[in-house]
Amino acid sequence: MEQDLQNTLSLLTRTPGALNALLRDLPEMWTSRNEGENTWSAFDVVGHLIHAERTDWMPRVRMVLQFGEDQVFPPFDRWGMVRETKGKSLGELLDEFARLRAENLGQLRALNLQQADLQRRGRHPAFGVVTLSELLATWGAHDLTHLHQISRVMAYQYREAVGPWSAYLGVLQCAGHSA
């Protein structure tokens, strides 16, 4: 099943602004706390999105176009943001994410991909053959999985403050579902 590339671009374009509106200058209680050991804060998630802009999405798009199924994507480092974010403020990360995303979408648009290009194939280290369409759709859905995560991590900070209403708040029952 193919996506409409314009729909994906519309979403990818909006994520930096949405995170900026939600997170900039928010008290650190919301942005620097996580859900416990080896979990991420909102700050960490923005760092992860930056790391993916640098090392995952467009590099993999270019690999598909250049090498097809002949070269395996390098694995993505899920903790790769730790050293990159050290000493930075959340405001700096939000700026960096917006800048990198705009650059990457500029490069993606410049490729002028046609519908037939979306069927081109690459090789994922775990999944094997994947299509360019799947890669690009995942870029968009990946934004959403992390917006989902940020809202959950933030809500977690109020899990006791809401008292009995926790029973009505689905986000407080969410365990994250990620590996």
Please give the residue ranges that form the binding site for a copy of itself (CB under 8 A). Answer: 1-4, 6-7, 10-11, 14-15, 17-23, 26-27, 29-30, 124, 127, 130-131, 133-135, 137-138, 140-142, 144-145, 147-149, 151-152, 154-155, 158, 160-165, 167-174, 176-179
Give the CA-trace dihedral at 149, 41, 22, 166, to 10 degrees.
60
SS3 150: helix
Work out how close the CB of 156 gets to a copy of itself at its nearest, in angstroms, rounded to a whole number: 9
Sign of the Cα torsion 32, 11, 178, 124 reads: negative
Work out how close the CB of 92 gets to a copy of itself at its nearest, in angstroms, rounded to a whole number: 19
Do residues 56 and 160 touch, judged by C-beta distance below 8 A? Answer: no
For a copy of itself, the closer of residues 33 and 54 by Cβ is 33
For a copy of itself, the closer of residues 56 and 96 by Cβ is 56
For a copy of itself, the closer of residues 106 and 170 by Cβ is 170
For a copy of itself, the closer of residues 104 and 133 by Cβ is 133
Work out how close the CB of 15 gets to a copy of itself at its nearest, in angstroms, rounded to a whole number: 8
Closest listed residue to residue 133, CA positions, set 114, 158, 151, 160: 114
For a copy of itself, the closer of residues 13 and 86 by Cβ is 13
For a copy of itself, the closer of residues 55 and 151 by Cβ is 151
- Residue 75, phi then psi, degrees to nearest 5: -60, 150
Work out how close the CB of 12 gets to a copy of itself at its nearest, in angstroms, rounded to a whole number: 11
Work out how close the CB of 142 gets to a copy of itself at its nearest, in angstroms, rounded to a whole number: 7
Work out how close the CB of 86 gets to a copy of itself at its nearest, in angstroms, rounded to a whole number: 25
Distance CA 31, CA 153 (A): 9
- Residue 36, phi then psi, degrees to nearest 5: 120, 180
Q: At what angle do helices 5-23 and 42-55 cross, to 10 degrees?
A: 140
Do residues 126 and 82 touch, judged by C-beta distance below 8 A? Answer: no
